[in-house]
Amino acid sequence: MNPTNVDYLKQFGHSLYLLGRHKAAIEVFDECCNLDEDDWEIYYYKGLSYKFLRVFDEAITNFSSANDIQKNENTYIELGRMHQIKQDYKTAIEVYLEGLDFSPENAEILT
């Protein structure tokens, strides 16, 4: 196990996230960002961790960063939910519409 291996750190951070240790997961994902800034999954799981800590602005920032690197259906869904939670419905609708442009067959985004 190499502590400078991004894949290992991502898996470790994901495990911490699944265990509900969101602050620790964010620390690991921060280290991942230092090693590889171009991996959308790092920002996605970091955003999920912030979501569960109820730090919605940071979650939005990380989901947006993930989408900037590589668009993904799940990222659009989470980003839209964050805007809904913040009661920014106009932006949420815009995110969902952009998500539909990317993935028109996704029923969850469509709903």
Domain ranges across the chain: 6-110
The pLDDT tens digits of the residues spanning 54-94 come to: 999 999 999 999 999 999 999 999 999 999 999 999 999 99
Q: What is the pTM of this model?
A: 0.90
CATH homologous superfamily of 6-110 equals Tetratricopeptide repeat domain (1.25.40.10)
pLDDT of residue 36: 85
For residue 29, give the nearest of 50, 1, 56 by alpha carbon.
Answer: 50
pLDDT in tens, 6-58: 889 999 999 999 999 999 999 999 999 988 889 999 999 999 999 999 999 99
Instruction: From 93, 85, 83, select the one nearest 61 (Cα to Cα).
Output: 83
Instruction: Assign 103 to helix, strand or coil.
Output: coil
pLDDT at 96: 94
